[in-house]
Structure 1
Amino acid sequence: MNTAAAHLNPLPATTAKGGTPTVARLRKLLPGLALTGAIALVSIQMGNIGWLQANGISALTLAIVLGMVVGNTVYARMGAVAGDGVTFSKANLLRLGIILYGLRLTFQDIGNVGWAGVAIDATVLCSTFGLACFLGTKVFGLDSKTAMLIGAGSSICGAAAVMAAEPVVRGRAEQVMVAVATVVVFGTTAIFLYPVLYHLNAQYHLIDLSPSAYGVFAGSTIHEVAQVVAAGRVISEQAANTAVIAKMVRVMMLAPFLIILSAYLSRTPEHKASALADGKKAGIVIPWFALGFVAVAGLNSLALLPAAVVRHVTDADTVLLAMAMAGLGLTTHVSAIRKAGMKPLALAAVLFVWLVCGGFAINAGITYLLG
């Protein structure tokens, strides 16, 4: 290009070809964002169906399932065009969604369950994750990443915890999907099992279990928030409210859990090798989105934001998380899950038994000591 031509066309070459680098990047993302957005909106609408709500099947679960259906059928023909946006959804939008998830919590929730409730949640979390790591690698022969992802989902808050732990653990899409699948299977089982156990106990007077105590038990041991709500409402509104509060305190432990996990993994040879393979330094991965999650929860605790604003942002957050789940589903192949075999499901089953039996023992013991 000569000088005269340069004066006539002073814009960058990328602009002359169709926009600035930012605009070009946005154009590459749009097809994938549109696809995950469409799946998310369909999932949210389906999540409003009464039967699905009553059975604790949330929009996030539906987004994963629909994403897998599309991902294993027609997505192969559009992956080249939509791939960037899909990756952006399951990585960047997920982090933003986790941060805004803090608007569902307040620090006052901790006071509502007391120190006993906090101790119960912390003990259930640590024992379940520890069991997952030990049994997953030593007994079932799973790789440590899959075991940790299954442990995160079982011990904290289901699919959201699995997705939040993925960048810290450096898990692959199929490992994440296997972990999410186990959460869906056993979390859904809990919706039906817990009320049955409550009514059997009430009929035979085995132990003294009030609706509030049942709520803490359900909130501290069932996987997903939606599943906790469903299992609580079957008993009573009081049980549901207590269950949700206990669950939210457990969710609040996600941030310190990720920081501690990252600090531990930074010292392991496997993590260092994985980081070097990715061309990154083998140090502590600070999950800034987890810190943002705590900061937003703290802001929400001050009650400075109007209720309408919180409601609208929470609705938007549901869309972001559903898009992230859709992105995960789109990039997960059924063949990868089949290849994983029955071992992940067996580990999740053992953890589920622990959550029901061991979790109840933890509830009873700590309530006796601190309640």
Structure 2
Amino acid sequence: MATAPVTHSHTPPHDTRGRFNGILLVALFALAVTQLAALPAFASLGISPLIVGILAGALYGNLLRQGIPAGWASGINFSARNLLRIAVALFGLRVSLQEIAQVGWSGLTVSLAIVVSTLLLGLWVGIKLFKLDRDTALLTAAGSAICGAAAVLAFESALRSQPHKSAMAVGSVVLFGTLSMLLYPVLVNSGWLGLDTLGVGLFFGGTLHEVAQVVGAASNVSPEATHIATIVKMTRVMLLVPVLLVVGLWISRSRQAGQAQGNGRINVPWFAFGFLALVLVNSLQVLPTSVVSAVNQFDTFALTMAMTALGMESKFSQIRQAGPRALATGAILNLWLVFGGLGITLAVQRLFG
């Protein structure tokens, strides 16, 4: 009786070369995107390289992806997954406990109230009202509640959801965050909101989606408001890891009860704890300012690469399926951030005034 020959699997050299080429393609794209985002047309709107990256990547991935050799796909996937986790961990160097302490209980209370209420509302509206799948609803809610595209990336990595779901969530963050960034200074400078400098900082930092949007909007009011708003915003960023842990526990329990949708439990891997560790490192001020600045610049570029790679992996046909419902969820969440966030800000100021 003849036996089949024994074969030994190994990784061909061209696979490694293909992965490197894929990473290099994403890096070159991210470099071009960084230059594009620095143009006044984008910079004046507070549109970060991350946002331009996912848009450019999606256009390339859908219109010209056929021209990419199949072996390069692993490099694109590496950028969208492994590099993403490293970049999210490094984001912790942008936050310090001292800065958070500067705004005291008022800043922490506003941040907690807005993050928790926006997440709960986003899940209810997305899943119950618009019948979105759990991952899309959670990504959209996290982007609105915590820190825009960076939160979407963190949850995408932890959920291991499909790239097009992240693209929909980021699209919502871009659209409504930009609209609010343009609207907020007009409302404040007209006197319609009736907020003092602290109130402006709490409101802007507590409700705008992206860090760049917070700085862009508050800088049209005053330097003091910009300082407070940035600190409050970074307090929301600090809540990223606790929220990941709580949501992970919720999804694990739902799965045990047979109620979970999508791909099962959320994973809270090392990058979440790396984020917290680097917050502590930054708070202890053991690294020279020049090193922190250099790492932050690298981190922005790595995040831009990850967003570009996610865009390349997204398919317009998949986005169209839930696009209107995801945008409707983002619209309702944005209305809550504006009006509910204003109410929370006024209540907190009265409480701690």
Within 2, Cα distance between the matches of 1:180 and 1:271?
A: 27
Alpha-carbon distance change, 27 to 158 in structure 1, aligned in 2, over 3 angstroms: same
1:207/1:149 Cα in 2 relative to 1: closer, same or farther (>3 Å)?
Answer: closer
Q: 1:341 to 1:49 in 2, by over 3 A?
A: closer
Identity %: 40
Q: CA deviation at 1:273?
A: 7.2
Q: 2:128 aligns with which of 126, 138, 149?
A: 138
Specify every segment of 5 or more residues in structure 2 that has no aligned partner in the other structure, as ranges: 1-7
What is aligned with 1:106? 96
Q: Is 2:292 the counterpart of 1:310?
A: yes
Change (3 A) 1:26 1:81: closer
Question: 2:134 corresponds to which letter in structure 1?
Answer: S
- Residue 6 (structure 1) aligns with: none
Runs of 4+ in structure 1 off by over 4 angstroms are 12-15, 270-275
1:199 maps to which of 189, 192, 196: 189
TM-score (structure 2 length as normaliser): 0.92
| Structure whose alpha-carbon radius of gyration is higher | 1
Q: Cα–Cα, structure 1 residues 224 and 295, in superposed 2: closer, same or farther, change >3 Å?
A: same
Q: Distance in 2 between matches of 1:44 and 1:179?
A: 21
Distance in 1 of aligned mates of 2:187 and 2:262: 44
Give a deviation string over 1:100-152, Cα, whole Å, max 9, x none. 11111111121111111101001000000000111111111212221111000
- Structure 1 residues 218-251: Cα deviation after superposition (integer angstroms, max 9, x where no partner): 1110001111111111112222111111101100
Q: Say if 1:146 and 1:13 are closer, same or farther in 2 by CA, change over 3 A.
A: closer
Match of 2:208 among 188, 200, 222: 222
Structure-1 separation of matches of 2:346 and 2:161: 35
Q: Which amino acid aligns with 2:135?
A: K
Cα distance between partner residues in 2 of 1:142 and 1:261? 17
In structure 2, which of residues 165, 170, 177 is the aligned counterpart of residue 180 of structure 1? Answer: 170
How far, CA to CA, are the matches of 1:227 and 1:150 in structure 2?
A: 17
Q: Which runs of 5+ in 1 are unaligned?
A: 1-11, 19-23, 276-281
2:316 paired residue number: 334
**In structure 2, what is the equivalent of residue 54 of structure 1?**
44
* Alignment pair present for 1:251 and 2:237: yes
Give the letter for the 1:300 counterpart: N
State the alpha-carbon separation in 1 of the partners of residues 60 and 185 from structure 2: 35
Q: How many residues align?
A: 344
Cα distance between partner residues in 1 of 2:24 and 2:193: 53
CA contact (8 A) 2:159 2:267 kept: no
Residue 322 of structure 1 pairs with residue 304 of structure 2: yes
